[in-house]
Amino acid sequence: MGRHMRAARIIFLVVVLGLMGAMATAIDWRGVVLALDARGVAVPEALRDVLSRRGTATGAPGPDVAQAPAVAPPLDTEALTTIIKDWTQANGIQGFTIAIALDGKVIVNAGMGNQPKGSAQLVASLSKAITAICTNEVLAAHGFTWETKIGDLLTVFDAMRILPGAKAQALTLGQIVTHTGGLKPDLTQGDMAKPTHGGLGMHGRYAWKALKDDALQGTPGEFFYSNTNFAVLGTVIEGLEGRPYEDVCRERVLTPAGVTTARTSGRLGSMSSYAGWEISAADYVRFYDHWFSAGRPWVANPDAFPHIANTYALGVYLTGAGAEADIEHNGRLCLNKGALGVGAIAHKLPGGWTWAATWDQCLDPNHYDALDGAVSALLK
């Protein structure tokens, strides 16, 4: 009986200790053998040999087992901190946020100064990708495509009290989204913008002005980057859906991507569909990862969708395709002679990395390149 009891005690202790090991509790199995000896519990030689070779339950091997090489962390956070510190100090940045994701999982979410971690910030022209994807989803839901012409939507524009001119009616929505429709000048810039900023959802007013024949001073087919194009798309969205732009795009685009912080009712909500979204860096990364993943048709086969030679696609600059696609865009607003400055950048790299950042200054585009180059090089 005593021998059976000792065996039962050994089995019980080993099972309990094994469970502790499964819960990541570090166990010195050689110490276990010594403890059993101290309690007068005889440990069979075969079991004693097994336990002595186990090292610790968390994987620390005994002295006679080779050490496994350490796994390198996915991101050098010390180097990232140095990049951000040097760049923000060099540019007088007081508020800054950044988020980085690997394979769809956010692993960095940080902020500083007047832009705390996770806070919704203006992203300026990063709003265009939201509008482009929203337009794509709305067109599909209503039986239209990017080949649809402005003239095919006259009843939609009529409901918005807009009468496009003859030249505008010949333009496709694909030309509008890629800035190749000839909508020039950009009606949202300079003195022309002053009477409209401050009200919500002014894309309709810009579309009304932009689609008049005398406003089309550019050449269809030539690239001319203009916010006005996305004011027109915002109007298309509202006209087809019969409800506010923000409500449509939140429901069809942002909520499916897990975005919770976005709004266009903030400081510059009047810019809505082309530059008015406020969203956290982490949520913008989630939006990119959800809608610009390698398997999305407009990423897997960009030429089947609006995509021009200079790489502009659905609200983003896109090179490559599928898993090798490189997708990025900048956001920049400089108002009141620089008194109000907004900066943002988003970049989805081949290899699974996606990152986005926001800051509170009006900066020269060269400074964007410096930050993008440093962060993207660290991630590649």
Claim to verify: residue 152 and residue 40 sit in the same structural domain: no
- Residue 98 within a domain: yes
Which residues span the domain enclosing 112? 79-379
Claim to verify: residue 214 and residue 285 sit in the same structural domain: yes
| H or E element that contains 305 | none
Claim to verify: residue 188 and residue 312 sit in the same structural domain: yes
Residue among 7, 92, 86 nearest 44 (CA) = 7
Write out pLDDT tens, residues 110-119. Answer: 999 999 999 9
- Say if residue 316's pLDDT is above 90: yes
Claim to verify: residue 28 and residue 94 sit in the same structural domain: no
Residue among 78, 90, 29 nearest 58 (CA) = 29
pLDDT in the model for residue 247: 95
Do residues 106 and 282 make contact, with C-beta atoms less than 8 angstroms apart? Answer: yes
| Domain count for the chain | 2
- What's the pTM value of the predicted model, to 2 decimals? 0.79
Is residue 164 reached through a cis peptide bond, with omega within 30 degrees of 0 on the bond before it? no
Enter the tokens of residue 100. Answer: 């980085």
- Say if residue 323's pLDDT is above 90: yes
Q: What distance in Å separates the CA atoms of residue 347 and residue 327, rounded to the nearest whole number?
A: 6
Q: What is the arrangement of strands in the sheet containing 353-359, beginning at the earlier edge strand?
A: 105-113, 95-102, 353-359, 340-348, 326-335, 317-319
- Residue 12 within a domain: yes
pLDDT in the model for residue 64: 34
- Residue 59 within a domain: no
Write out pLDDT tens, residues 152-205. Answer: 999 999 988 899 999 999 999 999 999 999 999 888 876 444 444 444 457 778
Claim to verify: residue 89 and residue 142 sit in the same structural domain: yes
Between 342 and 203, the higher pLDDT residue = 342
CATH code of residue 223: 3.40.710.10
Minimum mean pLDDT range among 42-46, 211-215, 341-345, 354-358: 42-46
Ramachandran category for residue 200: left, alpha or beta (phi over 0 → left; psi -120 to 50 → alpha): beta
Q: Give residue 49's pLDDT band: very low, low, confident or very high (50, 70, 90).
A: low
Claim to verify: residue 100 and residue 221 sit in the same structural domain: yes
Last residue of a domain, one of 54, 71, 96: 54
Q: What distance in Å separates the CA atoms of residue 88 and residue 237, rounded to the nearest whole number?
A: 37
Claim to verify: residue 106 and residue 24 sit in the same structural domain: no
pLDDT in the model for residue 60: 38
Residue among 240, 229, 234 nearest 140 (CA) = 240
Claim to verify: residue 158 and residue 194 sit in the same structural domain: yes
- Say if residue 26's pLDDT is above 80: no
Claim to verify: residue 24 and residue 94 sit in the same structural domain: no
- Residue 66 within a domain: no
- Residue 84 within a domain: yes
Between 154 and 1, the higher pLDDT residue = 154
Hey, CA dihedral for 265, 267, 271, 277, is it positive or negative? negative
Residue written as tokens 């943002």? 344
Enter the tokens of residue 372. Answer: 């993008």
